[in-house]
Structures are given as structure tokens and as C-alpha cells.
Amino acid sequence: MEIIEKIKTNKLIDNQTEIQKICLHKLQSSPLPNPKSELWRLSNKSKFSNFLNYSFNEKNSKFDINYPKNCQSTIRLIIGENCQIKLIKENYSIQQLSENELNEYIKEQIACFDQNENWSDLLNLSLSSKKNFLALKINGSKIPPIEIFSHASSNSLNAKTLVIFLEKNCEIELLQVNLGKENSSLSQSTFFLLEENSSINHGVVSYGENKSNLLNSLNVIQQKNSEYNLGSLHFKFNYARFQISIKQSAGNAKTNIRGMQITKNDEQISTYTKIDFNGPNGFLDQINKSLADDKSHAIFEGSIIVPKIAQKTDASQLSRNLLLSNRAQIDTKPQLEIIADDVKCKHGATISQLNEEELFYMRTRGITLPEASKLQLSSYFQEIISFIPVSKDRWDLLNKIINEN
């Protein structure tokens, strides 16, 4: 793994920024995550090594894909291609964070990083150059939907970072799309700060091509009376890992999460979530789904942490999983860590197969078995897809994933 050797010898990046120096220094003491840790023990070592085997490429690269036609009312940005933006309208503004604001915020985050839990972020911030950094400050109302794209080019590892400050009383709808080219690795880190009374409907759609890989991390801090809604979908990656950390910093905040990973062939896609309640009256409603076919492996681990200060927390976490093959594997582990004594918290997990009675009923009505299976799968997917912001409709996601399975 050439990248790891260069990290050890500090020869990875020339002309390092202050952030890159800090992260590389942290990585040098422990350049790889601990494979025995709970967060990494199920990760396929061969596939993870393959993620790191591509040469690092910090140059901007054109991605030869036909993006869906942009709507006039949508703001579209591609990290690494057009990261300069300044929109000041009557009702809202979208501007770049100053370098000082960005550095101060990222250094605060790094100071709290755990070497295993935040290894993906440390690697990403070590690699992300200024031109592959998009950092925005957004305020106001009646803001048009926003689409932000990250992509990796063939035979290389690309690193992209997104930082968004959502100021008080601001509401936005954001679709984030991560695209993997054949034989590529994409490292994507995203940071959100939601100030008081702000809200975001956030969609994350990640899909790749043959032998593409993804490390995707999401870090969210919610202040009082903020609302964070996430709908996510990951599919068609040889190896992908989505790690979510959400902190309700003072309570009185709402978090809603709907996520899904879809695997086939010998793919491995995993989702890890950690929700911290650091104040009273917090709310969480989380549903994660996995679908595994062929010899693939889907993983979900979710952690809800409720300390003594977080009284009156109302949190629900449910993992629903569908096996389409006897050779496929699904690991699921929802878990609660509760110290507070006045809370409503629950979790659960199910693993099942397609409903044979429903399939039989549809076949008696003249529907072929493949079509009946597609109808069941469509219903299974729809709960998650409907939670992703409406601009996803131009991507025709339901047809994409139905035709892949």
C-alpha cells in the first residue's frame, strides 16, 4: 500500500496545508485502523487494501457521465471543478467560508477525533487539497435545492471534503451524489454545523462502477431546535463504508434517518452510525435497510448514546434486512448506551427473505415470478427512496436499483 508507506515517511503531500500537517502527524503514529476494533473487525481486509492500492490523484478530473439535466431552480456544484460560489439574493445568501473560519472549525473537530472512529476523516483531510475542499456558509429562507457531486477517476484515489455551516433559522434541501468510476477509490468527508432553529433535508446517493470503492464519512453537529433529516442509498461498490456521527450538542433537536445499502456479487457495503445526545428532549427516528444477494456482505452497526444529562430523550432505531441468496451475509447490530433514567428508547433488528405467500398470490394473478419479485423489492426500497430530497427523481433511482437486482 503505497499511500500508507508515504504517510509513514511523510512523503505523501508536497506543500502541505496546516490541516494536512496535523492529520498526517496523527496518522503517522497509527497509519491504519485497528482491525480488532468493533468498528473495523468485519471489514474485508483484502477489499480495504484494494481501496488503498490506487495512486493518490489530487488533480481535478472530468467525470464522463451524463448528469441529469439541471433544473433552473437548482444550484449544482461539483467538488474539484467549480468550488467558488457567492450568491447573495434578497432572501438568502450562499458564500464561501473564510480560510480562518474553516481552519478553526476543522481543527476543533480533529481535536475530538478518535483514531479508529475517525480514521477515514483523518485520511481524507490528509489528502484533500484546497481545490477539492468545498466550504459554505448558508443563511436565509426560500433557498433553491442544492446538488453537490463528488467523483473519483479511474485507476486513482481521489479525496473530496464538504463543509456546510447552516446559520440560524435557515432551511435547505441538499442532494449529495458520490460517483465511483471503474477501478477507483473515493474518499469523501462531510461536515455539517446546524445552528439554532435551522433544518436540512439531506440526501446521500452513492453508486459506482465495476471495482470502485468508497470511504464516506458524515459528521453533524446540531444546536438547539435544529432538525436534521437524512435519506441515504449506497450501491454498486466493490467496497464501501458509510460512517455517520451525529451530535445533538445541547438537546431539544430532531434527527430522522432512513438509509439503505444494496450488495450483490461479492461486494461489501457497510453503514456505521453513532448518535450522541448531549442535552434533554432529543429525538431520533432511524430505520436502516440492507439487501444482500449472491455472495455479498452487508453490514449495519448503530449506536445511540444517552448520558445522564439527556433526560426526556425519545429515540428509536430499527434495522430491517432482506437476504436474496443463501450465500449472502448480513450483519446487523443496533445498540443502546443509556445512563439517563427518564427516556423512551427502543431498538430492533430483523432479517428475512422475499414473502413467498405474496409471490404466490401475484403469480396466481398472472404476474411472472421476476415481475412479482420486482414489485416486492420496489415496495421495500420505496420507504428509503421517498425520504431522499425530491431532486433525486431526475436520477430515476428506483429503476436503477430494481434493474440491478
- Whole-number pLDDT of residue 372: 76
Nearest-angstrom CA–CA distance, 210 and 42: 22
- Whole-number pLDDT of residue 398: 60
Quick one: average pLDDT of 137-145? 93
Quick one: average pLDDT of 41-47? 94
List, for residues 199-249, the tens digit of each pLDDT value.
999 999 998 887 899 999 999 999 999 999 999 999 999 999 999 999 999
Of 77, 90, 79, 148, the C-alpha closest to 389 is 148
- Whole-number pLDDT of residue 67: 58
Please give the grid coordinates belonging to residue 315. 429515540
List, for residues 361-386, the tens digit of each pLDDT value.
677 877 777 777 777 788 888 889 88
Confidence (pTM): 0.92
Percent of the chain with pLDDT over 90: 59
Of 312, 347, 352, the C-alpha closest to 333 is 347
Please give the grid coordinates belonging to residue 259. 438509509
- Whole-number pLDDT of residue 342: 96
- Whole-number pLDDT of residue 76: 86
- Whole-number pLDDT of residue 102: 92
List, for residues 84-107, the tens digit of each pLDDT value.
778 888 889 999 999 899 999 999
Residue ranges per structural domain of the chain: 1-249, 263-353, 354-405
CB contact at 8 A, 75 and 127: no
CB contact at 8 A, 298 and 263: yes
- Whole-number pLDDT of residue 274: 97
Return the residue matching grid coordinates 481521489: 158
List, for residues 23-43, the tens digit of each pLDDT value.
988 888 888 898 889 899 999
